[in-house]
Chains A and B, each alone.
Chain A
Amino acid sequence: MDLNSGSNILIKNGLIVDPKNNINETLDLLIKDGIISEVGKNIESDGAEVINAEGKVVAPGLIDLHVHFREPGYEYKEDIATGSMAAARGGVTTVVCMPNTNPVVDNPAMVKYVTERGKEVGLTNVLTTACITKGQKSKEISEIGELKDAGAVGISDDGRPVLTPSLMRRALEYAKMFDIPVMSHSEDLDLVDGGSMNEGYMSTYLGLRGIPKCAESVAISRDVLIAEEVGGRLHVCHVSTKNSIDAIRRAKERGARITCETAPHYFSLTDKAVEGFNTNAKMNPPLRDDEDVAAVIEGLADGTIDAIATDHAPHDSDEKEIEFSLAANGIVGLETSLGLGYTNLVRTGKLTLPELIKKMSVNPAEIINIDRGSLGVGKIADIVIFDTENEYTVDINEFASKNNNCPYDGMKLYGRVDYTILCGEVVYKR
């Protein structure tokens, strides 16, 4: 990899897509000392390294609100170095790690460990959430003030729901004082009842225990209504069903301070992908059906869904190549999210390119309140340059992630990343 550090970079003739500043035209962009110093026509290189971006898109680096880098504790699945490499290859310049490591991230030392380790690696801006409840045990709320001071950008018990409504209410009330989003994995485990895939024709066909859609929509409705009443900042993770999206839409219409994300697989795949007991199509929430895919896309288009986050979830093959119901949930996603978003949302005319960049960079920055996601002069130069003209084939063997649990191998996509620039340094070049 040709890493370029410290020098100035001039990106020539790229289509600058900067929704934050309402720019969507072919311009040059100059980076000096890690900062965007000029955006305009015919900028002189003045000794800067020149990247010819003709025919390419130049956008603010992607911000992924939902990744699992597994460190510490599960380094055999992924670690902060390999996860960061995967992010760089995917054009992702900021990631938000989920705290379900071992030990879990529920104290300031752990928050600092993850973020410092991310800085040492230096391939993406590694941020982290911390647990809503101590030990992710759904008993007592964690020291949310301390966690925020240590650098946590959100609190989440991801992988597990907050079990009782009263605890969720306290968490939202308490977190509100510190203006930190509660990123909720909303799931009613009683309704899940041991299911391992979406309940529908495919679960009946395969004889697998189904997870009803209401296991998600009931829990999201609960959390949304509580947040609305206490005025807390709720961010709903990985929404996947029509009724979940409707519940969020209605609460937003009433003025609730709620945001939410979906993952690329919820607009790219249905539960048909499970056929043949394919554990690389097993995740939680599970892949749904055509109606839900349409609702996710509609929710993205009408603004109900604010962000696209990957839920990048590497697992070792021994946890995936086993009986379907016993297999681990989740797929890797950092290296395919832009391609899936561009191919399945922009090329299909569901979103414009600036809208996609909003979902993948601008809005996520606002949700966690960081000054990124903009190509404005004076901003940190986190930039992705990608190719929307040429089709490419996903090859899981090229992934930087430690594991290849991914259902997209061999898929033809558009939107391949050419360069990823982090704080003015090229961290990935194809």
Chain B
Amino acid sequence: MLDRMLTHPELLELVNELALQRRIVGPVARDGRYFYEEVTRATDLDLTFNYCVYSPRGALFPPQETLFVFKRTNGTFTAEPVIDVRPTALVGVHPCDIHAIRLLDHVFEQDQRDEHYLSRRAHTMIVGIDCQRPCTEGVFCADMETNAADKGFDVMLYPLSDPGATEPLYGVVYGTSIGRDWVLYGRRGRIPTATDERTFEQYQRHKTDAFPRMLRMKADELPALLDRSYDSLLWEATARRCYSCGSCNLSCPTCYCFNILDETDLSGTTGRRERTWDGCHLREFAEVAGGHNFRPKAGSRLRHRIYRKAKWIRQRTGLPGCVGCARCDRACTAKINSVEIYNQLAEEV
């Protein structure tokens, strides 16, 4: 069921109004590729983007952020946490990335609440945009059941092309009262008609056939497949190509591992404790002081990442650890391909 219909110009007007209250982050074209960037005007966004090279996770979990600032005085110290409260709107988030954000929400909420993430998240509104067809070749979001999202957004836009119109017409579904208030208080759009609902049904039917199945197994069979594959020679054989560069980690929407580092002024009296993205494919990731490395081989690091994505995260959280966006596969300098890994493992059993 649709909640509202918006034309493209109406959507842009709403985003411009939102920009008065929130920092707007969305897809921006750069040399034929798309990146999530902060914009000041709705027209700077390109909502016809195929995919963004990096996921929007950086808007919620920045590559580098300050956890606290400290001051050393009289032999002791004081420290003050830094919590981001900037109102933000992420505009133009595909279903795969919405699933990934739901995982980040879970990770930073469970056990100990991480307010550095959660505060930023609480201040961030998410405007999703659905994909009627795969954004590019090689994605396996349909296999991972992440090519549609029914929660995790404030508003979801379904680009239902309006026959005869050059501008897209969006079917709108509200996810939260924040999203509904944004559309309704803006007094834009109109109530969906029976024709709109029929168009939406056709859209959904078309979508079911549009996504290819890439994996030879279902997503919920992956944990059992990996259970049988720990000692496969494929890990070492595939990782022979791996440069341990961490591009897969960098581009992954569900990678949330981080390092913690201190920065100080020259005198060392004031400074910051920073957290930075880290990646399990990097050689020193599991190294302890003294030099022992718990995962010294690229093969064991590759296995670790794939197990995390397809088994451990799913088992620990009940949420998909991989959303099938294939950013890792596209980013890999050695063309290591996760779909190929899963399908080859399936052949071994």
Instruction: Please determine whether chains A and B interact with each other in the same assembly.
Output: no
Residues of A at under 8 Å CB distance from B? none
